[in-house]
C-alpha cells in the first residue's frame, strides 16, 4: 500500500461502478425524492491523481453536479482526461493559467485535490477568480492557514467547502441521528482507530513540506472529525503521545504513530490512534448508558459496516463522493445543510485540534482548547 487512498480502497469493496441506489436528496428531509431539474454545480477538478480520478468517476452519477473543467500541471493527463470525460479544451488549465477561470462562465467551483501544503494558495486564487472553493481535507496545514482560506472566501463572496464525504454517508448519518435522538443515552466513551502501512517512502505524504506532517495530516483527521460528529460536542482539552519506530522513513516533522485523547464538556473521553505503520485500522466505537455503536470499516470508501445494540446498520451503500458532490450542490444552490457542516469553519475546527495534538506532543502537557 502506498497511500491512504489505496488503503481505503483495498480495505473495503470499491464503490465505483455501482448503480446509484437512491438520489442524494433522500438524505435531506426537506427535499422530495423526485426527478431533479434545478441548477447544476459545474465543477473543475484541480489535481488529476488517484483521488481526483475517484471523484471524477463518482460525479458521472451525480444529478446536481457535473465535471466540466480540469486543472493539472501534467499536459498528458489533461489530454487523457479531456478525452475520457468529454471536457472542452477551453475548460482545461495548468497551474500557471487557472486564474483565467474568472472569465469562464462554464465553471462554478474548483475542487482542490492536491498535496495539503498547496491547498491554501489554490483556494485564495480560486476565490479571487470568483469561483466556489472545495478543498480536500485537511484544508490547510494548520489552523492559521485554514482561517486565511475562510476569510478570503468570505471576502470574495464564495463558498468554501471541505471534502467531508462521511457527512453524507447513509450509515454515518443514521448513527448521528440516533445519537441526536438520545438512543444511546448519556454518552461515556469514544474510540477511533485510523491507520495503515504507508509503503513507498518517497511519496509526498512523507514530505513535510508538502504534507504538513505525517499520518495525522492524512488518516488521523478521520478520527478527529469522527470523534466530534459521533459525540456531538467540541473537545475542550487534548493530550497526545507519539511513537516513532522507523526514523529513517518518518523523518523530523513527519509523524508515524500518535495516540491522542480528547476531553468533551459532558465528560465524554475519546481515545484515538493515528498511524502510518499498522495495517487495517478503521474502526469507531461509541458507548453510552443505553446503547452502543461499532463501525468497522468506519471511513473507508464503502460499504461502511456497523452495528448498534439494536442490530446491524442496513442503510444502502451509495458512492460517497457522488453523495458529497450532490450534497454540496444542494447546499450552494438551495441552502440545504448536511447533518454535520462541511464548510470552512468545520475544517478550521479540525485543524485547531491537530495543532493542539502536535503541541501536546511537543510539551508533554494537556493542551486546553
- Order the strands of the 109-112 sheet from edge to edge: 92-93, 65-71, 41-46, 109-112, 132-135, 160-162
3-class state of residue 139 by DSSP: coil
| Bridge partner list, 112 | 46, 135
Backbone angles phi, psi at 113, to 5 degrees: -125, 65
3-class state of residue 63 by DSSP: coil
Instruction: At 24, list the grid cell.
Output: 442524494
**CA 318 to CA 16: how far, in whole Å?**
9
Vertex 7 angle, CA 269 and 301, to 5°: 75
Residues involved in catalysis: 137, 222
Element spanning 369, H or E:
none
- Order the strands of the 311-312 sheet from edge to edge: 311-312, 306-308, 291-295, 277-288, 187-197, 269-275, 257-263, 237-243, 367-368
**CA 68 to CA 92: how far, in whole Å?**
9
Say if residue 335 is exposed, middle or buried (CB neighbours under 10 Å; 0-12, 13-18, 19+).
exposed
3-class state of residue 186 by DSSP: coil
3-state helix, strand, coil in the chain (%, to 5): 40, 20, 40
Q: Are 307 and 291 in contact (CB under 8 A)?
A: no
Amino acid at each position: 500500500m502506498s497511500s491512504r487512498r489505496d488503503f481505503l480502497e483495498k480495505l473495503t469493496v470499491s464503490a465505483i461502478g455501482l448503480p446509484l441506489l437512491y438520489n442524494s436528496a433522500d438524505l435531506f428531509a426537506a427535499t422530495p425524492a423526485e426527478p431533479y431539474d434545478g441548477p447544476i454545480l459545474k465543477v473543475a477538478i484541480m489535481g488529476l491523481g488517484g483521488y481526483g480520478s475517484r471523484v471524477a468517476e463518482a460525479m458521472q452519477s451525480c444529478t446536481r453536479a457535473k465535471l466540466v473543467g480540469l486543472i493539472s500541471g501534467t499536459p498528458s493527463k489533461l489530454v487523457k482526461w479531456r478525452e475520457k470525460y468529454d471536457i472542452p479544451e477551453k475548460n482545461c488549465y495548468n497551474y500557471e493559467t487557472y486564474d483565467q477561470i474568472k472569465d469562464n462562465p462554464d465553471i462554478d467551483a474548483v475542487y482542490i485535490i492536491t498535496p495539503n501544503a498547496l491547498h491554501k494558495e489554490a483556494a485564495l486564487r480560486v476565490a479571487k477568480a470568483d469561483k466556489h472553493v472545495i478543498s480536500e481535507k485537511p484544508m490547510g496545514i494548520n489552523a492559521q492557514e485554514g482561517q486565511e482560506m475562510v476569510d478570503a472566501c468570505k471576502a470574495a463572496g464564495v463558498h468554501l467547502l471541505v471534502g467531508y464525504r462521511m457527512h453524507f454517508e447513509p450509515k454515518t448519518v443514521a448513527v448521528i441521528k440516533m445519537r441526536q435522538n438520545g438512543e444511546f443515552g448519556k454518552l461515556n466513551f469514544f474510540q477511533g482507530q485510523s491507520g495503515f502501512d504507508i509503503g513507498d517512502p518517497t511519496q509526498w505524504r512523507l514530505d513535510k513540506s508538502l504534507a504538513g506532517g505525517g499520518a495525522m495530516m492524512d488518516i488521523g483527521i478521520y478520527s478527529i472529525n469522527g470523534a466530534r460528529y459521533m459525540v456531538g460536542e467540541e473537545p475542550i482539552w487534548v493530550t497526545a503521545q507519539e511513537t516513532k519506530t522507523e526514523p529513517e522513513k518518518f523523518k523530523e516533522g513527519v509523524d508515524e504513530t500518535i495516540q491522542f485523547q480528547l476531553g468533551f464538556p459532558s465528560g465524554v473521553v475519546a481515545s484515538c490512534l493515528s498511524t502510518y505503520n499498522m495495517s487495517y485500522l478503521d474502526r469507531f466505537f461509541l458507548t453510552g448508558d443505553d446503547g452502543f455503536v461499532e463501525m468497522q470499516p468506519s471511513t473507508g470508501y464503502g460499504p461502511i459496516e456497523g452495528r448498534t445494540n439494536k442490530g446491524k446498520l442496513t442503510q444502502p451503500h451509495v458512492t460517497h463522493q457522488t453523495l458529497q458532490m450532490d450534497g454540496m450542490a444542494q447546499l450552494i444552490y438551495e441552502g440545504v445543510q448536511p447533518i454535520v457542516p462541511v464548510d470552512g469553519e468545520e475544517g478550521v475546527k479540525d485543524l485547531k485540534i491537530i495543532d493542539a495534538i502536535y503541541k501536546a506532543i511537543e510539551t508533554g502537557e494537556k493542551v486546553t482548547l
